[in-house]
Amino acid sequence: MSNLVVLPIIIPLLAGVIVALFNKKVAVTRTLTKLFSILNLGVAAYLSWIVFTTDSIILETGEWVAPYGIILVADPLASLLVLTTNIVAVACAFYAPHSLSLRQETHYFYAFYFFLITGVSGAFLTGDLFNLFVFFEVLLMASYALIVLGGERIQLRESIKYVLINLFSSILFVTAVAFIYGAVGTVNMAQIAERVQIQGQDGVLTTVAILLFFVFATKAALFPLYYWMPKSYIVPNTVVSALFGALLTKVGIYSILRVFSLIFVHKLELTHETFIWIAGLSMLFGVIGALSTNNIKLIIAYNIIPAIGFILMGLGVFNQDGMSGSVYYLVHDMIIKTALFLIVGVIAYVAGTSDLRKMGGLIHYYPGLGWLLFVAAFVLAGIPPFSGFIGKLLLLQGTLSEYEVVITIIALISSLLILYSVMKIFIRGFWGEKDETGKYEKKSTKGLIGPIVYLLAFSIFLGVGAEWIVPSVESISTYLLDPEIYIESVLKE
Amino acid sequence: MEIIISILAGVLITTGIYNLLQKQFLRIVIGTVLLSHGAHLFILTMGKLKRGQPPILTDGVTDYTDPLPQALILTSIVISFGITSLLLVLAYRTARENNTDNMEELRGTENE
Amino acid sequence: MLIAVLIPLIFAIIVPYLSKFKQKVHTGIFVFFIPFSIFLYFIRFVGSDFEPVRQTYNWIPSLGINFDFYLDGLSLLFVLLISGIGSLVVLYSVYYLHVSERLGHFYLYLLMFMTAMLGVVLSDNVFVLYTFWELTSISSFLLIGYWHYRERSRYGAQKSMLITVFGGLSMLGGLVLLSNITGTTSIQAMIAQVDVILANDYLPLIMAFILLGAFTKSAQFPFHIWLPDAMEAPTPVSAYLHSATMVKAGIFLIARFSPIFSGYEWFFIVVSIVGIVTLCWASYMAVRQTDLKGILAFSTISQLGMIMAMLGFGTGAAVFAAVFHILNHATFKGSLFMIAGIIDHETGTRDIRKLGGLFTFMPMTGILAIFGTFSMAGIPLPFLNGFYSKEAFFASTLELESTGNAIASFLVEAIPYLAVFGSIFTFVYSMYLFFGVFTGPAKLDKLKTKPHEAPIGMLVSPFILVLGVIVIGLFPNLFNGTFLIHAAEAVNSTVELEKLKFWHGFITPLFMSLAVVGIGIVFYLTRQKWSNIYHVLPGKLSFNKVYDYIIKKLDDVSAKITDSYMTGSLKTYMTIILATILVVTTFFMVVTGGFTISTDNLAEVTFIEIAVVLVITIAAIATIFTNSKLGAILITGVVGYGVATLFVIYRAPDLALTQLVIETVSVALFLLCFYHLPKLRKRTEKASTKLGNAVISIGFGALMTIIAISAHSTDWFEPISNYFIETSYKLGGGHNIVNVILVDMRGLDTLFEITVLGIAALAIVSLIKLRHDKEAK
Which tens digits make up the pLDDT trace of A453-488? 999 999 999 999 999 999 999 999 999 999 999 999
Beta-ladder partners of C65: C60
What's the pLDDT at C539? Answer: 62
Q: Are both C555 and C587 inside the same structural domain?
A: no
Question: Does B110 score more than 60 pLDDT?
Answer: no
Question: Which of C672, C690, C715 marks a domain boundary?
Answer: C715
**CB–CB contact B43 A178 (8 Å):** yes
**Confidence grade of residue C249 (pLDDT, cut at 50, 70, 90):** very high
Q: Which helix (H) or strand (E) holds A166?
A: helix A153-184
**What is the Cα–Cα distance from C26 to C35, expressed in whole angstroms?**
16
- Dihedrals φ, ψ of A72, to 5°? -110, 130
First to last CA, chain C: 68
Using CB atoms, which residue from B38, B39, B90 is nearest to A159? B90
Tell me what pLDDT residue A438 has.
67
Helix axes A129-148, C747-776, angle to 10 degrees: 10
In a domain, C474, yes or no: yes
**One domain, residues C237 and C292:** no
SS3 A260: helix
Give φ, ψ of A187 to 5 degrees. -120, 0
- Predicted local confidence at residue A1, as pLDDT: 61
Question: Within 13 A of C353's CA, how many CA atoms are on the CB side?
Answer: 6
**List of residues 6+ apart from C578 with CB closer than 8 A:** B17, C696, C697, C700
Which of C183, C403, C193, C181 has the alpha carbon at shortest distance from C312?
Answer: C403
Range of the domain at C355: 263-531
Residue A156 has pLDDT above 80, yes or no: yes
Instruction: Pick the more confident residue, C407 or A456.
Output: A456
pLDDT band at A342 (very low <50, low <70, confident <90, very high): very high
Closest to C74 in 3D by CA, of C539, C690, C491, C513: C491
**Residues C754 and C655 occupy one common structural domain:** no
pLDDT in tens, B45-84: 988 877 778 888 888 777 888 889 999 999 999 999 999 9
Q: Which residue of B42, B75, B86 is the best one to mutate when testing the A interface, meaning the one whose CB has the most A CBs within 10 A?
A: B42
Is the residue at C178 inside a domain?
no
Split at pLDDT 50, 70, 90, the class of B111 is very low
Alpha carbon of C154: minimum distance to chain B alpha carbons (Å): 25
At C639-674, the pLDDT tens digits run 999 999 999 988 888 899 999 999 999 999 888 888
CB-based burial, A18-40: b 16+ in 10 Å, e otherwise: bbbebbeebeebbebbbebbeeb
| Residue C176 located in a structural domain | no
Query: What residues are paired with B24 via a beta bridge?
Result: B102
Strands (E), A196-344: none
Question: Cα separation of C447 and C559, whole Å?
Answer: 46
A160 neighbourhood in chain B, CB within 8 Å: 25, 87, 90-91, 94, 103, 106
Over residues C323-375, the pLDDT tens digits come to 999 999 999 999 999 999 999 888 888 888 888 888 888 888 999 999 999 99
User: Does residue C699 have a pLDDT over 90?
Assistant: yes
Residue C494 in this model has a pLDDT that exceeds 60: yes
- The partner residue sitting opposite A137, judged by closest CB among B35, B47, B79, is B79
Residues C309 and C443 grouped into a single domain = yes
Averaged confidence pLDDT in chain C: 88
Residue C436 CB contacts under 8 Å (≥ 6 apart), including other chains? C352, C355, C356
pLDDT digits (tens, 9 = 90+) for B75-109: 999 999 999 999 998 888 888 888 888 887 887 75
pLDDT of residue C602: 80
The ipTM value here is 0.94
How many residues appear in chain B?
112
pLDDT in tens, A365-414: 898 999 999 999 999 999 988 999 999 999 999 999 999 999 999 999 99
Tell me, yes or no, if A415 comes closer than 8 A to chain C by beta carbon.
Answer: yes
Region of A203 please: left (phi>0), alpha (psi -120 to 50) or beta.
left
Let me know: does C240 contact C86? Beta carbons within 8 Å.
Answer: yes
The answer on C419 and C333 residing in a single domain is yes
Quick one: fold of B2-51+65-102?
Answer: Helix Hairpins (1.10.287)
Pick from A137, A164, A181: CB nearest B28: A164
A288 close to C (CB below 8 A): yes
Average pLDDT over residues A166-193: 93
CA distance C335 to chain A (A): 31
Q: Does C767 touch chain A (CB under 8 A)?
A: yes
Kindly tell me if the per-residue pLDDT of C137 is higher than 90: yes
The predicted structure's pLDDT at residue A166: 93
Predicted confidence at residue C541, as pLDDT, reads 62
Domain boundary, last residue among C202, C220, C248: C248
pLDDT, position B112: 40
Q: In this structure, is residue C652 part of a structural domain?
A: yes
Task: Indicate whether C367 and C400 sit together in one domain.
Answer: yes
A144 pLDDT above the threshold of 90: yes
CA distance between the termini of chain B:
53
- What's the pLDDT score for residue C777? 53
Between CA C513 and CA A218 the distance in angstroms is: 69
Residue A21 CB contacts under 8 Å (≥ 6 apart), including other chains: none
pLDDT tens-digit map of A245-304: 889 999 999 999 999 999 999 999 889 999 999 999 999 999 999 999 999 999 999 999
Q: Is any Cβ of chain C less than 8 angstroms from the Cβ of A18?
A: no
Residue A334 has pLDDT above 90, yes or no: yes
Cβ atoms A353, A427 nearer than 8 A: no
Interchain CB distance below 8 Å, B89 and C673: yes
Does A493 score more than 60 pLDDT? no
Long-range contacts of A60-64 (CB under 8 A, 24+ apart): A60/A2, A61/A6, A61/C747, A61/C748, A62/C744, A62/C745, A62/C747, A62/C748, A64/C731, A64/C744, A64/C745
For C620, which of B12, B28, B42 is closest by C-beta distance? Answer: B12
**Count of beta carbons in the 10 Å neighbourhood of residue A43:** 18
What is the CA A104 to chain-centroid distance, rounded?
24
Is C551 found in the same domain as C636? no
CA torsion, points C222, C227, C232, C234, in degrees to nearest 10? 180
B60 to chain C, closest Cα gap in Å: 13
Any C CB within 8 A of B35 CB = no
Cα angle, residue C340 at apex, residues C336 and C344 outer, rounded to 5°: 170
Domain ranges of chain B: 2-51+65-102
Q: What is the DSSP letter of C216?
A: H
Final residue before a domain boundary, out of C531, C550, C583: C531
Is the distance from CB of C156 to CB of C125 less than 8 angstroms?
no
- Chain C contact for A178 (CB, 8 A cutoff): yes
Regarding whether C551 and C513 lie in a shared domain, the answer is no
pLDDT of residue A440: 67
Coil/strand/helix, residue A74: strand
Task: Say whether C58 sits in a helix, a strand or coil.
Answer: strand
Supply the pTM of this predicted model.
0.94
Query: Which residues, in sequence order, are CB contacts of C309 under 8 Å at separation 6+?
Result: C271, C272, C274, C275, C276, C278, C279, C415, C419
- Which pLDDT score is estimated for C523? 87
pLDDT of C775 reads 62
Q: Give how many domains chain C has, as a whole number.
A: 5
What share of chain C has pLDDT > 90, as a percent? 45
Collapse the DSSP code of C264 into the 3-class scheme (helix H, G, I; strand E, B; otherwise coil) and give the result.
Answer: coil
In 3D space, the residue among C331, C593, C537, C286 whose CA is nearest the CA of residue C428 turns out to be C286
Query: 3-state class of C53 per DSSP?
Result: strand
Coil vs helix vs strand at C736 = strand
